A and B are shown apart, each in its own frame.
Chain A
Amino acid sequence: MRAFLFFLTLVVGAAVGLGLTWVTTVSGYGPGMIRSGPWEAWPKAGTEEADPYARAALARAGELPLELADGLAFVATKDDDGTALDGRCDIRLSGTLPQARFWTLTVTDSRGRLIDNAAGRTGFTSAEVVWNRDGTLDIELGPRARAGNWLPTGARERIELTLRLYDTPVGLASRTSDAPEMPSLVTQHCPWSKT
């Protein structure tokens, strides 16, 4: 009986310990997150002060973070209402962007791979995009070609957007309350919804 109880302790310990480690490193880069609307970023992950969770998550994924003096990446997997971004729907990204010398927007599938499409377009750079006259931006995401700044989503069930700001003062924000205003993401129409 005592052997069984000792064994139980070890099993619970291993399951809790490794399970917790898996959960905390499989998505996101730990507690140093700042949030602005649906966008999430981990400014500290790209510095020497990266916390152990950020280091572990990056090593596990095999990624190198953007060094903060280089730029900062914001990731969105949900729209403003908290609905997961669905590549079969028409989604609009609109609004203003934080100050940066350049930015790039990339659309990927849920595993971070680019989406193949006939237009050969996997994102926009700040130099390619067509701006509105008042300095705001509208980008249309969807499976079918649309007028304006269209980004094909290949009708993937789940998509991820990454907005990378280069040479930006935004990186100085270390708390959500200092986070810059980011563009909104609105799911406009899905093929299964009426009208």
Chain B
Amino acid sequence: MTRLVLPIVAGLVLGGIVHLVAVLILPYYAEQDAYARLSAIGSVNAVAQMDDPSAFGAVLPDTDPAFISAVCLYDLSDGPLKVRVPTSADYTSVSFYTRFGLAFYAINDRSAGRRVIELDLMNPTQKAAMPENADVTAADRLVVESPSDEGIVLIRALVRERSAREAVRAHMSAASCGPAS
């Protein structure tokens, strides 16, 4: 019996290491992660409307059914992007995630303070290369710096009452996401 003690203790230590490594690499190897699910419905650098969640599931699990959602998968390697989202009468938000689902920025209609949320999305190099003249650095221009070239923009609008659903959807279909110039 005593001969089994050492292998079991060594096994437990090895198990701890396997566990730590597995947790750390899981986000990079998960096959059905959010990006993979969204790639099935949309293409890169374009807005795709997401179907409403139903009893059969949703494009992304645990999506709030009270919202109309759209998504833009982005790739900044060809240059910065411009994201324009018209705000609805109620709550509208734009959230940014990296390719591996890490949330790094969000803005809503009230913090944007305008009828249209308009953002420039760029990577750190592109932001550093931005000319420093007056019209570009104008205070009302929102620049979002993405830590990685690829990522996800999630566009969501609250539907206050169910009857307004189609009106909100039509309004949100004007959202765009594409090359800045």
- In the bound assembly, the distance between CA atoms of A122 and B101 in angstroms comes to 26
| CB contact list, B96-142 vs A, under 8 A | 96-97, 100-108, 110-111
Assess whether B12 is interfacial by the CB under 8 Å rule. Answer: yes
Q: Is the CB of A104 within 8 A of B64?
A: yes
For residue B154, give the distance in angstroms from its CB to the closest CB of chain A.
6
Chain B interface: which size bin?
35 or more
Distance from A103 Cβ to chain B, minimum over Cβ atoms (Å): 10
Query: For the complex, what is the distance from the CA of A101 to the CA of B109, rounded to whole Å?
Result: 12
Q: Which of B7, B53, B110, B158 has the most chain A CB atoms inside 10 A of its CB?
A: B7
Stretch in contact with the other chain, from B21-29, B79-87, B172-180: B21-29
Which A53-72 residues have C-beta < 8 A from chain B?
Answer: 53, 55-56, 58-71
B3 closest partner in A (C-beta)? A5
Q: With A14-B18, A52-B24, A127-B161 given, is the CB distance from A59 to B33 under 8 Å?
A: yes
Write out the residue numbers on chain A whose beta carbons fall within 8 Å of the beta carbon of B47. none
Q: Report the Cα distance A94→B16, complex, angstroms.
A: 43
Contacting residues, chain B, for A134 (C-beta < 8 A): none
> Which residue in A6, A18, A25, A167 is a CB contact (below 8 Å) of B110?
A167
Are A17's CB and B93's CB within 8 A? no
**A13: which B residues are within 8 A, CB to CB?**
10-15, 17-18
Please, how many angstroms separate the alpha-carbon atoms of A167 and B21 in the complex?
A: 36
A113 near B56 with CB under 8 A, answer yes
Residues on B with beta carbons closer than 8 Å to the beta carbon of A167: 91, 108, 110
Q: Give the shortest distance, in Å, between A19 (CB) and chain B (any CB).
A: 8
> Is B15 a contact partner of A16 (Cβ separation < 8 A)?
yes
B33 touches A55 (CB 8 A): no
Which A residues are in CB contact (< 8 Å) with B61?
61-63, 112
Q: Which residues of B contact A (CB under 8 A)?
A: 3-4, 6-8, 10-19, 21-24, 26-27, 30, 32-34, 36-37, 53-58, 60-62, 64-67, 90-91, 93, 95-97, 100-108, 110-111, 147, 152, 154, 156, 158-162
